[in-house]
Amino acid sequence: MRTTTFTASSIAEGYSYIKDNFGDEALVVRVDGGGKSRSVEFTVSLPDPVQAPREPVMEAAKRRMQAAGFDGAVLARLEQFASENEATDPGDLVDAYLRSRLRTRSFVDLACEKRCLLFLGPPGAGKTTTIAKAAATLVAAGKRVMLVSLEKDRLGGDSQLEHLAGLLDLPLVSVEKAQRVSAALRGAGRVDCILADAPSIHPWRVMDVDESLSLAERLSAAPVMVVPAGLEARETADSLATVRGCGVEHAIVTKCDVTRRLGTLLNALIIERFVVVGLQQSRSLNEKLSASDPNLLKLAFNLQS
């Protein structure tokens, strides 16, 4: 039992307050005042609150990861991981476990090593915006960047990248035919990194992926898959398996701020052993691409403390 004390203007007001706020189980222990007194002090005994048993951290993490779209293949080692890594919060456990399973790398390091990156992705994945954010990340790191647009099929795709290049004050080369790429990039020796926007693909179609990889070879570029969170689980798994089977190994995840299905995508990225080089949380150009963010993961799986 526990007690609490409060003051009312009258006995009637005090009992009314007890009924409304403490319920029928409250017991009045002492009443001081009343009569000519301007206030009445009540001392009330209250039952101790009943506390529900707390769910074990590992069980909470497993249950919520399953709800977020992770399958048995990824969850199989969670119990062993939990036994080897102390955690008092399921969100911290999920974050640590995913970091141990998900291959990540700095986008800046990748771009500087490969020098030229070709961004692949399905229509509506946010590819052009991602290229602009990637360019802003490199500029902030002191790198000289050139943008290349090969996106001629989608209405407005080329003009959108031109607008973003203007905002960042970066050179943009627009090429209508892939065969002319090499000639268009002859002056690229003065830049540290080239970011190329490929025509949109259907990632579960091997023909589309092969054509893009041929373009990457012509550019001497490393292909990077831009994949949006929020796709249906089977579609996500099939498309990433096709792209990985064709040799693409780096990925940037987009639209993390508008989906609750990030789990199904991360599950597929782990299974296919992609290297994640960026998570895009917003369309803002001043937000740098980062490979992992524990706060994002906790929000995605509703695992806040």
CB count, 10 Å around CB of 214? Answer: 11
**pLDDT tens-place values along the chain, 305 residues long:** 788 888 888 888 888 888 888 888 888 888 887 666 678 888 998 887 766 567 888 888 888 888 888 888 888 888 889 889 888 888 888 888 888 898 999 999 999 999 999 999 988 888 888 999 999 999 999 999 999 888 655 545 567 788 888 888 888 887 765 556 666 666 556 788 999 998 888 888 888 889 888 888 888 899 999 998 888 888 889 999 999 999 999 999 988 776 667 888 889 999 999 999 988 877 777 777 877 665 556 555 554 44
Q: In this predicted model, what pLDDT tens digit does every residue of 211-231 receive, in sequence order?
A: 888 888 888 899 999 998 888
CB count, 10 Å around CB of 107? Answer: 25
Looking at the domain assignment, is residue 51 inside a domain? no
Residues 64 and 139 in one domain: no
Helices (H), the chain: 11-21, 57-67, 72-75, 78-84, 90-101, 107-114, 127-140, 157-168, 181-184, 206-219, 233-245, 262-271, 294-300
Residues 142 and 271 in one domain: yes
pLDDT at 21: 85
SS3 254: strand
| Number of independent structural domains in the chain | 3
Give the domain range for residue 70. Answer: 57-101
Looking at the domain assignment, is residue 262 inside a domain? yes
Q: In this predicted model, what pLDDT tens digit does every residue of 15-60 receive, in sequence order?
A: 888 888 888 888 888 888 766 667 888 899 888 776 656 788 888 8
CB count, 10 Å around CB of 166? Answer: 10
Helices (H), 151-198: 157-168, 181-184
Residues 65 and 184 in one domain: no
